[in-house]
Structure 1
Amino acid sequence: MAETIKVDIWSDIACPWCYIGKRRFEEALAGFAASDASVPVEVEYHSFELAPDTPTDFEGTEVDFLAGHKGMSAERVTQMLDHVTGVASSVGLSYDFDALQHTKTLKAHELLHFAKSQGRQRELKERLLRAYFEEGRHVGRIDDLVALAADVGLDTEAARAALEGGEFADDVQADIDQARGYGINGVPFFVFNSAYGVSGAQESAAFRGVLEQISTGQVGEQD
């Protein structure tokens, strides 16, 4: 029987399914925590860039970006975004793809590592996703990221220094390298106790089932 469960989550700020998966996982976590079988769960987010070649200031809409990046028609992309907006709504999220500012997310990942060093990673992860998908905020430029860091109580001068100096660039790359080692090529991707992987924004019941099985030693245990 597991004494604790460590969940490592690879995701990208610019990934709509990552935010949906986050909400579904959080619902599962809340239900699991309230159950008699609950054991402590530690959650850590890891960096993954879906489109590392994206410029910081992309000139165009989300439809423009996805049409070019995926080689799809604008009509098909619009249908896809409408679908994901509906799914997001089902978990309480209000996506606004018309306002969204597509950008390179590398600096946002560096800031998440800074936040981790300050014990605020989960708070900043939520803030960045909400800013990007619901508020139309820019999450690629240092000034904008520092402002969002302040929203979760991080020291703005220290955050700016970390971003301008690339203090956590190696940590971001280490996450990306580890993802490659695991064979992860899409996100969100959840790794339980370094042994059991779950790909995609699964329904909360699926995440809850994994947590319960691991807590009783049925899956995910290492020798």
Structure 2
Amino acid sequence: MSLKKSIIIIILILLVDQISKFYIKTHFALGDEYRVFQWFRVYFVENDGMAWGTKISDFVSFISDRTAKIALTVFRIVAIFGIGYWLFDATKKNSPKVLLLAIAFIFAGALGNIIDSVFYGLLFSDSHGQIATFLPAEGGYDGLLHGRVVDMLYFPLWKGFLPEWLPFFGGKFFTFFEPVFNVADMAISTGFMMLLVFNKKAFSKKSD
């Protein structure tokens, strides 16, 4: 697969990701929910940390949330350059198609969330209790590098109380699948799953 085809895939994923996020930001207030099916809902939340809303400051107490946010965003930007070089190098070496697809998915997903983190604080007004405005006259809800990632895909496939005989979690209310995510997250997860499932094919001797 050529680098040009990889770039086309990246652009398509980015377009779907950013269009869906733009729509949610300009049509939903934070916490609004639209039920498509019982097991699939559009539920608007924002995430200013890592996976599942985790923050660096949760682990390193002496770092403020804002400093941790900048550190995380800068790390993501550095990482995206590394992933981009990995894709370029893999293409140059005529690596297996599955490897190039996986890298392209991971790159697109990472870049999609970086756009939120870097620019959304400048581009949108706050979504708390109101529908956000794009390019508000009074300015965005925060500065550069302080944007929050927009999540909206929610699949509560099952909700209920777990059996009492289960150790540690018995009798507790449980939701599967509870995390709320976005198209970029799906792309990253798909890329990593491809690398895991097709590991031998992706990293065959041809790609060395």
TM tier, smaller: under 0.3
Which protein has the bigger strand share?
2
Computing the radius of gyration from Cα coordinates, the structure with the larger value is 2
Q: TM-score normalized by structure 2?
A: 0.26
Higher relative contact order (CA 8 A, sep 6+): 1
